Structure 1
């Protein structure tokens, strides 16, 4: 394994070289788990190297013995933060139900750890946790007859949708909180304001939308963001189904 780059060895927790001079009890796993805990508590801005060092009671420079850089720390956090993928209860003959379960499990992780969607995308999955999610998604598609490239493309589209939906929900929520009030009130205000501004001669279909009363109705559940997510997910699964080999 000597030909593996150092960052990949750390991602997979492969021991390398001497541990002389390292603080007792401090290793990659502890550093990354502490960073994840800080991000869970204070957001991504709370998991900087100086704050992490203070939490661990070490100097910031000593952390570089365990994580090569700030960017590497984010990669390590992203892998560990996802945790384990879902276990599918038998039978395993309904790819759509399994892929839906896979996507909903990712959605739950994102909603629990909103900082995950804020991490930069630094390449394909390389760590054991994210690859476990890839393996789980491929298992859902195992008996579809789709070729490997198509399966990977499906997982990329579905996983990308989960990430984007979570990021959009966060940004909308941040906007609502900044203005004060709750989502239903903001939606009603939006609908009423647009109904005044949108000229039916210029935007006939948009005008029809805002005059339909859609934004005056109560949200269908206590989790309108989740309802929107599930609606979009079913549309994507419809598209996947249409592209499946006969």
Structure 2
């Protein structure tokens, strides 16, 4: 019986772990993977991920693009190594926090800060689990925080992913506001005021009653952090789940992934046409409801004017 050979590590992952073969030719002491990644990260921090190309990095270092390819053979590998370096290791201070909840919340905050320092990381596509040393260390830190709990391994990974996902979502929104500020010259507070004013112009109580009430309550000008609130409530749920396990209750966790029907992904023309017809009908229905609400409002105003005479 022959044992199956383990898959070969992709070059980018092998470089991250320091087990890739060194180039046989090319500039030696003057060039290294570390120098290439340092230069790429500096470019991305200054001008965004769009500024990073093999040619731009080579020009920064004073070499030709071909000389870089001897060390990093593809841009995707460079992006992976950039993300790995920018991410770094989770702070050791996380281990000093008391209890699983405080440690997870601390890891959440640190990840949000990472995205603020390196917003370009949010533009790097997710193509699977990042099997690199630093990424593994962050996941390990979350799992270690949960080791004293009765959660199963599946459940611990699920909680770790919730922390990472919430941090990434917060980072995406904050990076967007930062970009708005940079492009418009407005401060973050001024961007929020302008956004609130735009909502105020288009959101009516008839069409979006709940959102209108939120706007009137000043939600878009509130200093409260909705992402931190959401993260705390997620952890409340985890705490309640752990408490149920401690009391001997065994809640049944969901096991099915949310997935689009494969028939939709097959690109069937008739199905796409039918789905478009449904979207158009829903749009027409919304427009009809809008006209109905407008007509009703105008009718009420006429009745009120007639009663006042």
2:179 equivalent to 1:174? yes
Partner of 2:207: 202
Partner of 2:240: 242
For 2:200 and 2:51, how far apart are their aligned partners in 1? 42
Partner of 1:154: 159
66-75 vs 82-91, which moves further: 82-91
Quick check: which has more Rg, 1 or 2?
2
Contact kept in structure 2, 1:13 and 1:29, CA below 8 Å: no
For 1:130 and 1:79, how far apart are their aligned partners in 2? 7
141-150 vs 19-28, which moves further: 19-28
In structure 2, the CA distance between the partners of 1:202 and 1:99, relative to structure 1 (3 Å rule), is same
In structure 2, the CA distance between the partners of 1:182 and 1:151, relative to structure 1 (3 Å rule), is same
Q: How many residues align?
A: 238
1:167 positional shift = 1.1
Contact kept in structure 2, 1:78 and 1:116, CA below 8 Å: yes
> Within 5 A, what are the aligned runs for 1:47-62?
47-62=52-67
1:59 positional shift = 1.2
In structure 2, the CA distance between the partners of 1:165 and 1:22, relative to structure 1 (3 Å rule), is same
Q: What 5-or-longer segments of structure 2 have no aligned partner?
A: 1-5, 247-309
1:183 positional shift = 3.3
In structure 2, the CA distance between the partners of 1:206 and 1:117, relative to structure 1 (3 Å rule), is same
90-99 vs 130-139, which moves further: 90-99
1:145 positional shift = 1.7
For 1:147 and 1:87, how far apart are their aligned partners in 2? 25
For 2:46 and 2:193, how far apart are their aligned partners in 1? 32
Partner of 1:96: 101
TM-score normalised by structure 2 residue count: 0.69
What SS does the corresponding residue of 2:204 show, helix, strand or coil? Answer: coil
What SS does the corresponding residue of 2:113 show, helix, strand or coil? Answer: helix
Root-mean-square deviation over aligned CA pairs: 2.5
Partner of 1:21: 25
For 1:12 and 1:152, how far apart are their aligned partners in 2? 23
Contact kept in structure 2, 1:13 and 1:28, CA below 8 Å: no
1:21 positional shift = 1.3
Q: Which is bigger in relative contact order (C-alpha 8 A, separation at least 6)?
A: 1
Q: What 5-or-longer segments of structure 1 have no aligned partner?
A: none
